[in-house]
Structure 1
Amino acid sequence: MDLGLRDKVAIVTGASAGIGLAVTQAFLKEGAKVVGGSRHPEGLAELGSETEVVPVAVDFSTAEAASQIVHRAIEAFGRVDVLVNNVGIAPAREGFIDISDEEWDEVLTTNFMSMVRTSRAVLPHMVERNKGVIINIASESGRQPDTILVDYSVSKAAMLSLSKALADEFGPSGIRVNTVSPGPTRTPLWDMPGGFADVLSEQLGMDKEAAIDHFARNVRELPLGRMGMPEEVAAVVLFLASEQAAFVTGAEYTVNGGSIRAV
């Protein structure tokens, strides 16, 4: 299926790893142009020429990052067709009482305020053209809070709420706003040294792959019996960015292997 994304201009935040990297690669494969923001975007330059991908070194926990990446996109390509708010952090916690104000600030600023600021920076350009797409990467934790990720869960619930509000306000201006909520996904948070997979492996006394399989099948009891992959989330993002989803706005698409069973 031709998604009609050739020569579209997309900003992707948190573009250098995990879901953000998969989304960036998927856009480039469709012939789109990507402005990718990350604290360490060096590897993005290897994905295409400077007329295809523009790496931007930004820290989305700062107020300046949003205007910096939007300015760079306009400077490089003259417009922004799609914004993917993907950047986020998910530090494991002992419990609610032990989370300090500073830790709450770090998570809410990085995960939620980056969405607020980058959307606010790009929307005037989209309104001027009477067209645009914003896709926010939330999480199943936004609806099914996790004790060890309580501040992360709150930040993702806030993203779900704001997505609905933006879809309502800017729909008349031709702008669609949707959310993609992944479930357990095999990102670098799992595979990096000391990551979730290593912790599970040690706790369960299994090798890493067996521990991940056990987690998917027996701990989370995922109906599909496995973890998701970043490329599977990216496929849904690209659909929502395309004209194939021209009548879809204010929606949440879950990519979670059936992990949430509530209606």
Structure 2
Amino acid sequence: MDLGLKDKVVVVTGASLGIGLAITREFLREGAKVVGGSRRPDNLEKLGHAENLIPVSVDLSTPEGPDLIVDKAIEAFGKIDILINNVGIAPAREGFLSVSDEDWEDVLETNFMSMVRASRAALPHMIKQKSGVILNISSESGRQPDTILVDYSVSKAAMLSLSKALANEYGPMGIRVNAVSPGPTRTPLWDNPGGFAEGLAAQFGMDKEEAIVHFARNVRQLPLGRLGTPEEVASVVVFLASEQAAFVTGAEYTVNGGSLRAF
């Protein structure tokens, strides 16, 4: 299927790890031009595609960070067709009372305000060209809050709400806005030292791989019986960004192995 993404200009926030890296790689495969922002863009530089990929070292939790990456896209390619608001952090908490004001600010600035600011920077360019796509990477936690991720869950719920609001306001101007909500996905948050996998291994008294399988099949009872992969999320994102999804806006696509069973 030709997705018609060749030479489209894509900005991806949080582009150097996990889902963001998979999204960046998938757009490059489709022939798009990608401006990828990250605090540590080293992984992007390893992808090659020098003519179609601009890694940007940027802190997207700051007020100026999202403007910087959008400005880079305009400077390099003269337009922005697609914005992927992906950057996010998910610190584990001990519960609501353990989360300080500074904790709340850190998560909301990184996860939610980066989306606000990047969208605000990109929209004038999209309005001028009467076309554009904004895709926001939320989470199943936005609908099913987790005690140990309370502030993260709130930030993802806010992303879902703003996605709908932007779709309503800017649809008449030719701009589509959708959200993609992954479920449990095996990103570096799982495999890094001190990550989720080590925590589950200690909790269940198993090695890491056994603990992950036990978690997926018996704890979360995922109908597909496994965690998702970043590439599976990226495939949905790239489809929604394409003209094959030209009549899709204001929607939330879940990529969660069936973890949320309610309508």
TM-score by length of 1: 0.99
The answer as to whether partners of 2:17 and 2:43 remain within 8 angstroms in 1 is no
Measured after TM superposition, the shift of residue 66 of structure 1 is 1.0
Secondary structure at the aligned position of 1:89 is classed as coil
The answer for unaligned runs of 5 or more in structure 2 is none
Could you tell me how far apart the structure 1 residues matched to 2:221 and 2:252 are? 22
**Which residue of structure 2 aligns with residue 173 of structure 1?**
173
The answer for unaligned runs of 5 or more in structure 1 is none
Aligned-partner residue type, residue 9 of structure 2: V
**Which residue of structure 1 aligns with residue 145 of structure 2?**
145
Of all paired residues, the percent bearing the same amino acid is 75
Could you tell me how far apart the structure 1 residues matched to 2:195 and 2:148 are? 14
Aligned-partner residue type, residue 216 of structure 2: A
Could you tell me how far apart the structure 1 residues matched to 2:66 and 2:108 are? 15
Written as runs of structure 1 = structure 2, the 5 A alignment for 1:24-173 is 24-173=24-173
Aligned-partner residue type, residue 53 of structure 1: L
Could you tell me how far apart the structure 2 residues matched to 1:216 and 1:135 are? 27
Deviations 1:151-206 (A, max 9, x none): 00000000000000000000011000000000000000000111100111111111
**Which residue of structure 2 aligns with residue 209 of structure 1?**
209
Could you tell me how far apart the structure 2 residues matched to 1:203 and 1:48 are? 40
Could you tell me how far apart the structure 1 residues matched to 2:146 and 2:34 are? 33
Could you tell me how far apart the structure 1 residues matched to 2:75 and 2:50 are? 13
Could you tell me how far apart the structure 2 residues matched to 1:110 and 1:81 are? 23
Secondary structure at the aligned position of 1:12 is classed as strand
Measured after TM superposition, the shift of residue 2 of structure 1 is 1.0
**Number of aligned positions between the proteins:** 263
Aligned-partner residue type, residue 81 of structure 1: D
**Which residue of structure 1 aligns with residue 184 of structure 2?**
184
**Which residue of structure 1 aligns with residue 261 of structure 2?**
261
Could you tell me how far apart the structure 1 residues matched to 2:211 and 2:91 are? 20
Could you tell me how far apart the structure 2 residues matched to 1:14 and 1:182 are? 15
TM-score by length of 2: 0.99
Measured after TM superposition, the shift of residue 49 of structure 1 is 3.3
**Which residue of structure 2 aligns with residue 20 of structure 1?**
20
Could you tell me how far apart the structure 1 residues matched to 2:217 and 2:43 are? 34
Measured after TM superposition, the shift of residue 48 of structure 1 is 2.5
Could you tell me how far apart the structure 2 residues matched to 1:101 and 1:13 are? 25
Deviations 1:18-51 (A, max 9, x none): 0000000000011111000000002212212332
Could you tell me how far apart the structure 2 residues matched to 1:205 and 1:199 are? 10
Give the aligned CA root-mean-square deviation in angstroms: 0.6
Deviations 1:103-152 (A, max 9, x none): 00000110000000000000000000000000000000000000000000
Aligned-partner residue type, residue 201 of structure 2: S
The answer as to whether partners of 2:239 and 2:245 remain within 8 angstroms in 1 is yes
Could you tell me how far apart the structure 1 residues matched to 2:45 and 2:132 are? 25
Aligned-partner residue type, residue 149 of structure 1: L
Could you tell me how far apart the structure 2 residues matched to 1:31 and 1:236 are? 17
Could you tell me how far apart the structure 1 residues matched to 2:67 and 2:180 are? 24
Secondary structure at the aligned position of 1:136 is classed as strand
Secondary structure at the aligned position of 1:176 is classed as strand
**Which residue of structure 2 aligns with residue 5 of structure 1?**
5
Secondary structure at the aligned position of 2:176 is classed as strand
The answer as to whether partners of 2:83 and 2:135 remain within 8 angstroms in 1 is yes
